[in-house]
Amino acid sequence: MLKKDQKSDVYEQFIQAKKLGENEKTSILQKIKNVESFSDLMEKINRKIIKNASFVINNRVASSVYRKKILRHHCFYIDDNEVKTLMEHLNSSKQLKITNEQTKGKRGNENNEEMNDKMNENQTWFEIKKNVIYDNLIFKIKPSIQEYIKSPFAIVNLNAWKTKPNMKVVYDEHGNSRGPNRFHQDGYPPGHYKCMIYLKPLDDDHGKIQVEDKIFESKKGGLCLCFNNNLYHQSIPGKSGERHVIEITLMRTIVKVDILKNYPGTPDSIHLKQAYQAYI
């Protein structure tokens, strides 16, 4: 448990990150000034508007049909046997690294090779294929996710990885901090949420997770944290133990869909290319 003065430090850290993020947001005038050419303008329109239009429409309709307001975060546990089964399965799965290879039907991270190398020094991903173990996990946690998200949903990506202790913040070629261990927003199109499953305890040894001004801790493995990943959050590295995490990315849908159809992810995938893929 955090002491009172630690809690105020955590709050202060979040406020600073938020202020910094707001200062970095470019004004509309500055955005217009930054346009270099007609093709640059078209590329920006495509990246910001056309590419995300299906997600914006999907989320608008889902929010008007179902409850608009979703809690910032929601926690629940999977049982110890489930944690054991998942750990055994991951430990027998093929180990992978980030490569920036395109995953069919999915969008991915857009890091350069140097950034990937830095991430790969500390993190190892597990191969995820459609499997009865993940199918069962999804069915077990579905009611708790439903309670949080207040609408039907699709699972648009499932990833799993392990992180070495003492992972540092990584920096890109412009000196900007990158990676999970600094306050950031994931910047996914609207309608996306995450459910993180921590298979190890959330403590000083294995690391913790912070969403805005709240640090999540757990004496045992199996804590599931659903949260809006466009809120400021950061991973707090552990001091001695490896951290094993399953990351489930959710997208609100307007009607019930097959939630098992799109989950297999790769180290390079984050969510579907277009919202309609969840319905077909």
Cα 133 from Cα 246, distance rounded (Å)? 13
Nearer to Fe ion, 152 or 233 (CB): 233
- Least distance in angstroms from the C-beta of 247 to Fe ion: 9
The answer for residues whose C-beta is within 8 angstroms of residue 149's C-beta and 6 or more apart is 70, 193, 226, 250, 252
Q: What residue type is 83 in one-letter code?
A: V
Nearer to Fe ion, 99 or 185 (CB): 185
- Least distance in angstroms from the C-beta of 122 to Fe ion: 15
- Least distance in angstroms from the C-beta of 215 to Fe ion: 15
Give the residues lining the site for Fe ion (CB under 5 A).
186
Nearer to Fe ion, 192 or 200 (CB): 192
Nearer to Fe ion, 193 or 263 (CB): 193
Nearer to Fe ion, 186 or 242 (CB): 186
Q: Which residue is nearest to Fe ion (CB)?
A: 186
- Least distance in angstroms from the C-beta of 233 to Fe ion: 6
Q: Is 207 in contact with 234 (CB distance < 8 Å)?
A: no
Region of residue 25 (phi > 0: left; psi between -120 and 50: alpha; otherwise: beta) = beta
- Least distance in angstroms from the C-beta of 180 to Fe ion: 6
The answer for residues whose C-beta is within 8 angstroms of residue 23's C-beta and 6 or more apart is none
- Alpha carbons within 13 angstroms on the beta-carbon side of residue 124 total 11
